[in-house]
Structure 1
Amino acid sequence: MSQVIVAPETRDLEELAGRLRHWLSGRLPGATAITVANLAYPRGAGQSHETVLFDAHWHERGRDRTQGCAVRIKPRAFTVFPDNLFDEQHAIMKLLSEDGGVRVARPLWFEEDPAVLGNAFFVMERKQGRVPVSIPPYAREGWLHDASPEQRRRLWHGAVEQLAAIQRVPAARAGFLAGQGAAQRGLAQEWDKYQRFTAWLEEAGPQPVLRDALARLEAQWPAHDPEGIVWGDARIGNMMFGADFQVIAVMDWEQPSLGGALHDLAWFCTLSETMHGRSSTHGAYLEGMGTREETIALWERISGKSADGLAWYEEFTHFKMTCTGVRLGQLRGTPMMDEAAMRRRLKVA
């Protein structure tokens, strides 16, 4: 099967290797014979950040050393989201790596100077494992499709454990994720973000469906708003798994916040149903994966938090996903769905 690349932009990897080699010489002052090799874009990579895998080799203190790496570069023109949270993405990964409860790739170096690669970037350790990719949909083909129900059950259980583990990290330790003014944390922060997202989309033209959906959601405002860190794109497609079907890494922290505990659970449940649930639109139901009810029960037990009122957050998830879809359509010059489909999805007349 050919490699599928879905990245905001690509570049000459040989040239990139030379730039990284020169840059590493400043980060590893005691190293000699530095080489950078095996550069590649990850299969099924995300659409908002350019990410390149590579191996760094060098000699230091009488020993040959090797470090598998991934460089993540701040987007320039292809910006999917209105908020620049690149620094925050690095900071939350660093916090979680040091905490140890959530399995993330350990950040190694951060570079602010855009002269090196054209924009800021950070390098993290490269994890080795398998990812249930969206292109092609993992429920239709690939290693998870071919797995046994027992193996899928192990994968689902570990994924929900990690999802819940995020909520065991005190939000107070991630103050750098706070929003502005009255929208510093909780649902107010996520709501403010997507109000601004809608206004940003309207710079290219009116968005009456999104405005109607916001009004409907606001009229049904939930009473339950437990505090918590938001991962931002909570799905098994953003997790890496080992041959034993256990979680190796929780990835893609590009839209974190202090928006509250239920946003990630809602996103996870919504995407699970879409990608591999009984009403999947991307393939077939994957036997062994937990149901929505099982996911909620396991998440509540591990996180120690209540999922009361989750249905509203799932509706908000559909709104968030639609905003992203509209933005991607703007960037590509082709709408990703028509107005009638948007109204059905967002339950507005």
Structure 2
Amino acid sequence: MSDAPGSGTDPGLDRAALDEWLPAHVAGLQPPFRATLVAAGGSNLTYRVDDAAGHAVVLRRPPVTAVLATAHDMGREWRILDALHRHTGLPVPTPRAYCGDLGVIGAPFTVMDFVEGRILRTPADSAGFTAAEYATATDSLVAVQAALHAVDVDAVGLGGLARTRTDYVARQLHRWMAQLEQSRTRDLPVVDEVHATLAASIPPESGPPGLVHGDHRFDNCVLGPDGAVVAVLDWELATLGDPVADFAWSCCYWTDPGDPAPFLDAAPTLDPGFPDRATTVERYARASGRDLAALPWLEAFSYWKMGCLVEGVYARRLRGAAGGAGVADPGAIAERAERFLHHAVVLLSRIA
């Protein structure tokens, strides 16, 4: 978000409407505004908006087409960000405004402060790090996630974020399968086969449920000058559930050299200055005090979920929607989905 290159276009925005709405709802902003679509974003569209005086904010809205309501609830994302900013010390961008009026730009949107700093997306992004900065970035990423998982959701007003706090994996299995069914474009038996295996073998949860981010990794964090996390971004997938399942997803993003099916082919953790994934597992275990016995199974589940997510990106790309898996060719996206799903089969076979 903060230092990504922009495309220079603004699909899904009405500049004239924003020139009127933003000054009325976000103190200190002066029109006219220049909006830049962030190139490296998730499924929600993210823009940097600069005003006439040089101030910058971030605006997020759902995709222009192929919107799944449960995956792009901007009001829900706003409530999470606002509660964490008001009631915890977690590093989140300062929320500035929420608009649920579809008459402004055609969709709900949130506005938050732009956070200066560095986002690690590839090994090149940590070029010049000192040994202390590598250590700080690693420790901070893990510590922030453990602290998030320890938030008292009732005390901060997020106790009603999910209909139930338990059975997180079962809920995720249902949710991702249901979303895939809404956008399925081809027959992919491995999706159903792995789903059936997972549904029949869900392990006990790691302990009390907590707030889970759903996509906690370097790509979704801004680092300060010393390497510490100064802002966690992209809260669209946050819910209540099993924190170790959330950590397992993060583990799959912590790529080691030689990993057969990396979530990211050029993951920032491939920089040799970072420790291996096993080290982060040890640090999370110490910081959280959680039972990690189910971590291998949850990593297999994470690969199935990523396969479903990328398959959804493939379907949206076929329909011409933006956002996605880091590649433009629909065939390459389809191949990535298959690779993740088949790696889930491999991981499950090792557990059995």
Deviations 1:229-261 (A, max 9, x none): 121111111000122211110001111111221
Matched, 1:305 2:290: yes
Say which is worse superposed, 227-236 or 166-175, in terms of deviation. Answer: 166-175
Partner of 1:337: 334
Matched, 1:54 2:49: yes
> Does the 8 Å contact 1:85/1:255 carry over to 2?
no
Question: C-alpha displacement at 1:317, in angstroms?
Answer: 0.8
Identify which of 305, 312, 323 aligns with 1:320: 305
Query: What are the ranges of 5 or more consecutive residues in structure 1 without an aligned counterpart?
Result: 59-65
Say which is worse superposed, 241-250 or 327-336, in terms of deviation. Answer: 327-336
Query: Could you tell me how far apart the structure 1 residues matched to 2:203 and 2:30 are?
Result: 55
Compared with structure 1, are the counterparts of its residues 342 and 244 closer, same or farther at alpha carbon in structure 2 (3 Å cutoff)?
Answer: closer
Provide the aligned C-alpha RMSD in A. 3.1
Compared with structure 1, are the counterparts of its residues 120 and 12 closer, same or farther at alpha carbon in structure 2 (3 Å cutoff)?
Answer: closer
The amino acid of 2:99's aligned partner reads: E
Query: Could you tell me how far apart the structure 1 residues matched to 2:11 and 2:193 are?
Result: 41
Query: Could you tell me how far apart the structure 1 residues matched to 2:108 and 2:86 are?
Result: 23
Matched, 1:11 2:7: no
> Does the 8 Å contact 1:19/1:117 carry over to 2?
yes
Identity %: 23
Query: Could you tell me how far apart the structure 1 residues matched to 2:22 and 2:338 are?
Result: 52
**Structural mapping, 1:149-188, within 5 Å:** 149-172=131-154, 173-179=157-163, 186-188=168-170
Query: What are the ranges of 5 or more consecutive residues in structure 2 without an aligned counterpart?
Result: 319-329
Identify which of 110, 113, 120 aligns with 2:108: 120
> Does the 8 Å contact 1:88/1:176 carry over to 2?
no
Query: Could you tell me how far apart the structure 2 residues matched to 1:217 and 1:286 are?
Result: 33
Query: Could you tell me how far apart the structure 1 residues matched to 2:235 and 2:341 are?
Result: 29
Identify which of 76, 98, 108 aligns with 1:88: 76
Query: Could you tell me how far apart the structure 2 residues matched to 1:90 and 1:68 are?
Result: 18
Secondary structure of 1:346 counterpart: helix
Structure 1's consecutive aligned runs of 4 or more residues displaced over 4 angstroms after TM superposition are: 3-7, 182-185
Compared with structure 1, are the counterparts of its residues 155 and 216 closer, same or farther at alpha carbon in structure 2 (3 Å cutoff)?
Answer: same
Question: C-alpha displacement at 1:301, in angstroms?
Answer: 2.5
Identify which of 25, 36, 39 aligns with 1:40: 36
Partner of 2:193: 212
The alignment of Structure 1 onto Structure 2 pairs a total of residues equal to 324
Query: Could you tell me how far apart the structure 2 residues matched to 1:76 and 1:229 are?
Result: 29
Question: C-alpha displacement at 1:162, in angstroms?
Answer: 0.9
Query: Could you tell me how far apart the structure 2 residues matched to 1:12 and 1:337 are?
Result: 26
Partner of 2:99: 111
Identify which of 190, 196, 215 aligns with 1:233: 215
Say which is worse superposed, 245-254 or 186-195, in terms of deviation. Answer: 186-195
Question: C-alpha displacement at 1:152, in angstroms?
Answer: 1.8
